[in-house]
Amino acid sequence: MSHGVKSIGIIGAGQMGGGITQVAATAGIDAVVYDSSTDQLKKCEALHQKLLNRAVEKERMTQAEADAALGRISYANSLDALSGSDWVVEAIIEDLGIKSDLFKKLAAMLPNDNVVLASNT
């Protein structure tokens, strides 16, 4: 059964956003994770590599599967990188004002009626 989702954008490269990104990529979905912090993006990328390597060591997946999952992940410090996403999930600070502002920006940026905007909250 096809889920129809080919790409997902994740806003926030912390624990939750990074986890959502890895699960999507492992499931075969192209994932772009955005964060305003380049350092946080680097930490997220290093964690993905570490966790996927561990999965290979524990024989939960093959090296080819891990490499393919990593190949489906992009790390971006511009919201514009999310423009082609079928779904966009925010995983940012728990502040209603900040989330509201973000969704207004996303709605203007992603006018396609078929894009799903979701919150991790």
Give 96-109 pLDDT, tens digit per residue.
999 999 999 999 88
Q: Which residues pair with 83 in a beta bridge?
A: none
The b/e string for 74-113 (b: 16+ C-beta within 10 A; e otherwise) is bbbeebeebeebbbbbbbbeeeeeebeebeeebeeebeee
pLDDT of residue 1: 38
pTM: 0.91
- pLDDT per residue over 36-75, tens digit each? 999 999 999 999 999 999 999 999 999 999 999 999 999 9
State the pLDDT confidence band at 3, using cuts at 50, 70 and 90.
Answer: low
